[in-house]
Amino acid sequence: MRIIPNGIFMRVIHLNVASIFFLFLYLHIFRGLFYGSFKFKNTWNGGVVIIFLLIITAFLGYVLPWGQISFWAATVITKFLRAIPKFGGIILIWVWRRFSVSNFTLKFFFSLHFLLPFALLLLILYHFICLHFKGSSSKISLAAPPLKIKFTPFFLFKDFLNFSLILLFFIIFDIWLTREGENFIKANFLSTPAHIKPEWYFLFAYAILRSIPHKLSGVIIIILAIAILLILSLTIKKYNSKNLIFVILFIYFFFILSWVGFNEAVDIFVLLGLTFSFFYFSSFICFFLKFFFLNWIF
């Protein structure tokens, strides 16, 4: 940022595009839930794997700036590896490359942050191939006549326009809108920030994680928070409007948990996080039981 010409411009673009990317990703997931995209198992399951890899890639990028929030986020999150029975400590030292988060850790994380997107490209290609053979779940596209519209120029121009408008929003209002102010302070391992919170697209997961006091249970629960989406592809054969209630509840719990994660970890917000985490998982369990028993009876 300080040495390369126009480095600050490149960092601002990279930072805001990451937020825009996750915004479109979540909208894409909500759309998939609304239209019942999980009935296409290969497409849906491949998408869930993409989400996992995206979260890992984004986290690795988030901890790269040598700032207070990034440093302590890396320290706190990676320490959860210690909860793995027997081999946790060895894995943690291997990830840190030393006995604490240091410059060697950053170099390792930077390498992974650079390489993982190439694996993501392969997964996205697989996602496209599945979509090509199975088609879209959108009722609008299914009702339309079988006419093909070329990607260029219509869709290319439309996507570019939408992307430019959202990027313009960040440029006009605040180019550092999604960046925590304390992260501009150089990392200091002797001073812990009062409130360590991740980027907005990790807030729902952070709220779930901090509501579980046991480390290993917290790691398992946070993985299940995303992996539970896989349960949908095992239950649905035919999508109907009655499942719209489940979609609304899922979106509602997602935003509530994000709001809880944004606030400090005082008793009231920890309790709210625990409560809505229970509701979040209960909605999936009730949805699964409803489908299982209906198919068993009929």
Catalytic residues: 132, 136, 158-159, 199
Query: What does the alpha-carbon distance between residue 204 and residue 228 come to, in Å, rounded to a whole number?
Result: 15
Start-to-end C-alpha separation, the chain: 63
- Please provide residue 97's backbone torsions phi and psi, each rounded to the nearest 5 degrees: 65, -5
| Rounded alpha-carbon distances, angstroms, from residue 84 to 24, 30, 105, 211, 220 | 33, 32, 20, 19, 10
Q: Please state, in angstroms and rounded to a whole number, the distance separating the CA atoms of residues 109 and 58.
A: 11
Closest CA to 96 of 65, 51, 88: 88
Residue 73 near residue 183, CB atoms below 8 Å: no
For residues 227 and 243, give the distance between their C-alpha atoms in angstroms, rounded to a whole number. 20
Question: CA 137 to CA 33: how far, in whole Å?
Answer: 10
